[in-house]
Amino acid sequence: MKEFDAIPAFRMLGNLYFVGSYQQSSHIIDTGDGLIMIDVGGEENLPYVLAGFERLGFSLADVKYLLLSHWHWDHADGVPALRKLTDAKVLIGEPDAAWLKFPVDGVLRDGDKITLGNTTVTCLLTPGHTEGSLSFFFDVKDGEQTLRCGMFGGAGHRQLSKAFLDKYGIPYFMREEFFASIERLEKEHVDVLVGNHSWHNRTREGREILLQGGPNPFIDPAAWGIFLAALRKKMWKLIADESREQFLVLAHRGASEYCPGNTMLAFYAGVYMGAPGIETDVRRTKDGVLVLFHDATLEKAMGQPGSISDYTLEELKGFPMEKNGLRDRIPTLDEFLAAFGDMDLSFAIELKDADIETDVAEAIRRYGLEKKAVVTSFHLEYLQKMHTLAPELKLGYLARAGKITEEVLAQLKASGIDTLCPRVPDILPENTKDWHGHGFRVRAWGVTNEEDMRQVYDNGADGTTVNFPDKLLAYIQEQNAKNEEK
C-alpha cells in the first residue's frame, strides 16, 4: 500500500473537521445528530481517516451519510472497506454511479439536499471532471457567525486532457461542461473553501496557522472566486498547450502535393515525411468495393469519363494516376488499412458516397482503429447515421467557410460529433477559442499554401489536413525552437 503524508485530523471551524492525508481528503460534519462524511479517499487513505476519527473522538458508527464528490478512486475506493465499519448511506451523483466498482445506497441529483441534525448539505451537479461531479454547500456556525462552506467536487482539469478523454472514451463535451460548472459555481457565495484535495485550500498550512492561534485562514470569502478563476485559466492553458504540442498534421490524400493523391505512393510519402496522420476519401465501385478516391468524376485524375460507381474495381485499377512523373493505381480501403492500420498513425476517413457507413465502420472495427480514426463528412446525415450504427467512432464535421453557427454547433453536439473541421478562413483566434469553449476539437481543412498553413497553426487549431506535410512539420519545429529560446 502506498505511504501517504498524514495531515493530523483537526477542526477547521465550527462543526467541520478534516481527516485524511495530504494526497486524499475526507471531511466530517458533526450535525449533533450523527456525522456526515464527504469523500473517503482510496483504500490507501483509509488508515489516515480512521486515525483521524480516533484523534477527534468520533465513532464510525455515527456516520449516517457518506457523500461522494465523484467516482474517482482517490475519492471513493475506500468505500467497500469502510462499509465493514459503518452503516452509513453512501450517495453519489447519479451519472457517476455506473462508474463505481461497488453499489451505492442512492444517487444524488442537482439541487438535492441532505439534512441531518443541524446541517443541510445542498448538492449541485457540476460535471466536467466527471459526468456526475457534485459540489456541496452547507452552513457552519463558528462562534456567533454563520459561514457558508463550499466544495467544488470536480475541480481537476487534468482529466480533461486529450490523452485522458481518449483513453477512457469520455466525450470531449465534458470540457464545455467544466467551463459551465465553473461559471455556475462562481455565482455561489462561499465564505469557506473546502478542498476536494488538500492543495485546493492549503489544508496543511491552514492547520499550522490554527495551531499557532492565528485568525482562521479558512474563512476567506475571496478564496472561492480566486480558486475558480485560477481553475478556468489552467483549463484554457491546457487547451492552448495541447493544440501546440499535439498539433495533428494529416497528410491530405497522402502527400498529395508531390504524388498522385489517394495512392499508396502518396500515403507512404506522407508517412516518410513524418506526418503523424493520413487523411483519405472513401467511395464505392460498381461492384461494391470501397476505394479511396476524392473527385466526383474521374476526368481530372484518371482522364476517363464517368465516376467511380460506373466502373468495377478491376476496370479502375486499369486507369493509372500520375503526378510529377510518379504513377500509381487506385487503392481499396482494405489495401490501405492493411498497410497502415497497425502503424502509430491517426486517420481521417471521409465519407464521399452515401450508404457506405456500415462498411466503413466494419473496416475500422476489423482493423481495431476505433481510437485512431475519425470519420468525417460534409454531410451531417452520413455522420448521424454513422453515430447510430457505430456510436464508439469519433466523428468530424467538415464545414464550409462561414457556415458555423451556434445552431450548427448544437446540432453537432446532439449528433455526437465532437470534431469540428472548419475551412482555413474561419480559423481565427476568437473562433477557435469559442469552439474549444464548446468542447470541440478543431481540425482545419483547405490549406492550399504556406500562409494558410501558418494561419491554421498560429490561430489555435488542433490539427489540419495538408498536401505538403513536410513544410508544415518544418514550420512547427521552427516555432517550437523559437519558443524554447524564449
Residues binding Zn ion (CB under 5 A) = 72, 156
User: 72 or 423, CB closer to Zn ion?
Assistant: 72
Residue nearer to Zn ion on the CB measure, 43 or 359: 43
Q: How far is the CB of 69 from Zn ion (least distance, A)?
A: 8
Least spacing, CB of residue 159 vs Zn ion, in Å? 6
CB of 156 to Zn ion, least distance (A): 5
Q: Which is nearer to Zn ion, 152 or 445 (CB)?
A: 152
Least distance between Zn ion and beta carbon 60 (Å): 24
- For Zn ion, the closer of residues 129 and 394 by Cβ is 129
CB of 231 to Zn ion, least distance (A): 13
Closest approach, Cβ 68 to Zn ion, in A, equals 11
Place of cell 472495427: 365
**CB nearer to Zn ion: pick between 177 and 350:** 177
Q: Which three cell numbers mark 146?
A: 454563520
Query: Of 179 and 311, which has the nearer Cβ to Zn ion?
Result: 179
Write out the chain in H/E/C secondary structure: CCCCCECCCEEEECCEEEEEECCCEEEEEECCCCEEEECCCCHHHHHHHHHHHHHHCCCHHHEEEEEECCCCHHHHCCHHHHHCCCCCEEEEEHHHHHHCCCCCCEEECCCCEEEECCEEEEEEECCCCCCCCEEEEEEEEECCEEEEEEECCCCCCHHHCHHHHHHHCCCCCHHHHHHHHHHHHCCCCCCEECCCCHHHCCHHHHHHHHHCCCCCCCECCCHHHHHHHHHHHHHHHHHHHHHHHCCEEEEECCCCCCCCCCCHHHHHHHHHCCCCEEEEEEEECCCCCEEECCCCCCHHHHCCCCCHHHCCHHHHHCCCEEECCEEECCCEHHHHHHHHCCCCCEEEEEECCCCCHHHHHHHHHHCCCCCCEEEEECCHHHHHHHHHHCCCCEEEEECCCCCCCHHHHHHHHHCCCCEEECEHHHCCHHHHHHHHHCCCEEEEECCCCHHHHHHHHHCCCCEEEECCHHHHHHHHHHHHHHHHHC
CB of 196 to Zn ion, least distance (A): 8
> Please, which residue, 153 or 276, has the CB nearer to Zn ion?
153
Closest to Zn ion by CB, 41 vs 156, is: 156
Nearest CB to Zn ion, comparing residues 197 and 294: 197
- Residue 140 CB, shortest distance to Zn ion, in Å, is 24
CB of 129 to Zn ion, least distance (A): 6
